[in-house]
């Protein structure tokens, strides 16, 4: 019980968390591990932005940018967008003002090449910035395969406010309708069964190798993601604050 309460900061501490230099936090985990949901809880606690490469790519597609056009077919097949494209998109985003105290990286890096690029980028930033970030915190959310499958095939999203539901675990009050704004819920194009299977394979073949990569550098926290959203959030706070405070 004592361990469970360690992450509960007092109101004054929470205020402090919103002005602190938190630095970059990587949320690692397979598709469906809950990275997007957890990133939102971290944004609320630390006041730093979530950078989801999946969301940025989808925004580029929606706006019809050159990057969006290049990425579209690759994303629909459940494959990874080439490292150079994703890394330059991330570099541009990290240079924005709201990242000055840090950021939550969700879905990036996804390959060892991206992780190495990020290490170089962060080393340069420490050398050049007048407000350098503290070292990287990496948290891996671990979830069993069958559980991931149900989470992904059951996922429905509100296209208007972004609320995420699941037909098995967290259904909307009225089927297919957002509880908050009443919009019709949608299934992401890459949440079809064959694409999900491809995305999970991509994770196993490419992204899983980041676990030993970061473990070896002593920067990895592994968290059991087969628990309630709130329990996983509390464990994430503890891991990040263990390294930061």
Q: Helices marked H in 129-206 — which ranges?
A: 145-153, 193-205
Size of the residue set binding ligand AMP (CB under 6 A): 17
CB of 117 to ligand AMP, least distance (A): 10
Binding to ligand AMP by CB under 6 A, coded x per residue (else -) over 106-145, reads: -xx-x---x-------------------------------
Q: Of the residues 20, 125, 155, 156, which is catalytic?
A: 155
CB of 54 to ligand AMP, least distance (A): 2
Q: Tell me which H or E stretch contains 171.
A: none
By beta carbon distance, the residue nearest ligand AMP is 54
How many beta carbons lie within 10 A of that of residue 98, not counting itself?
12
Which range touches ligand AMP (CB under 6 A), out of 10-18, 104-112, 130-138, 155-163? 104-112
CA-based nearest residue to 35, from 46, 26, 44, 45 = 26
Distance, C-alpha 57 to centroid of its chain? 14
Contact 21, 133 (CB under 8 A): yes
Residue with tokens 């070896």: 216
Which range touches ligand AMP (CB under 6 A), out of 71-79, 120-128, 152-160, 227-235? 71-79
184 has catalytic annotation: no
* Residue 3 to residue 218: CA distance in whole angstroms: 22
Contact between 236 and ligand AMP per CB under 6 A: no
Residue closer to ligand AMP (CB basis): 78 or 241: 78
Return the axis-axis angle of helices 53-63 and 66-76, rounded to nearest 10°: 120
CA separation, residue 238 to residues 77, 94, 211 (Å) = 37, 25, 19
Q: Of the residues 20, 58, 61, 110, which is catalytic?
A: 110
Q: Which of 24, 78, 102, 225 binds ligand AMP (CB under 6 A)?
A: 78
DSSP 168: T
Return the axis-axis angle of helices 53-63 and 83-94, rounded to nearest 10°: 100
Which range touches ligand AMP (CB under 6 A), out of 16-24, 77-85, 115-123, 222-230? 77-85
35 has catalytic annotation: yes
Q: Tell me which H or E stretch contains 24.
A: strand 23-28
188 has catalytic annotation: yes
Q: Which of 23, 190, 196, 223 binds ligand AMP (CB under 6 A)?
A: 190
Return the axis-axis angle of helices 112-128 and 83-94, rounded to nearest 10°: 30
Q: Of the residues 35, 93, 125, 151, which is catalytic?
A: 35
110 has catalytic annotation: yes
Binding site for ligand AMP (CB under 6 A): 31, 53-54, 57, 74-75, 78-81, 86, 107-108, 110, 114, 190, 199
Q: Which residues participate in catalysis according to the annotation? A: 35, 110, 155, 188, 199
């Amino acid at each position: 019980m004592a361990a469970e309460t360690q992450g509960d900061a007092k109101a004054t501490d929470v205020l402090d968390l919103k002005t602190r230099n938190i630095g970059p936090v990587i949320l690692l985990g397979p598709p469906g591990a809950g990275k997007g949901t957890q990133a939102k809880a971290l944004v609320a606690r630390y006041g730093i932005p979530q950078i989801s490469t999946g969301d940025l790519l989808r925004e580029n597609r929606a706006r019809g940018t050159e990057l969006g056009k290049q990425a579209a077919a690759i994303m629909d097949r459940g494959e990874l967008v080439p490292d150079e494209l994703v890394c330059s998109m991330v570099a541009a985003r990290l240079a924005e003002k709201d990242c000055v105290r840090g950021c939550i990286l969700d879905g990036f890096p996804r390959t060892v090449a991206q992780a190495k690029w990020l290490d170089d980028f962060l080393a340069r930033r420490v050398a050049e910035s007048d407000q350098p970030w503290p070292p990287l915190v990496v948290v891996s959310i671990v979830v069993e395969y069958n559980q991931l499958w149900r989470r992904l095939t059951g996922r429905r999203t509100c296209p208007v406010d972004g609320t995420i539901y699941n037909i098995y675990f967290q259904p909307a009050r009225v089927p297919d309708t957002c509880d908050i704004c009443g919009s019709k819920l949608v299934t992401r194009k890459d949440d079809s069964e064959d694409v999900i299977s491809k995305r999970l394979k991509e994770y196993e073949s490419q992204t899983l190798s980041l676990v030993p990569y970061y473990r070896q550098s002593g920067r990895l926290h592994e968290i059991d993601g087969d628990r309630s959203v709130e329990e996983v959030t509390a464990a994430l706070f503890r891991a990040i604050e263990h390294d930061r405070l």
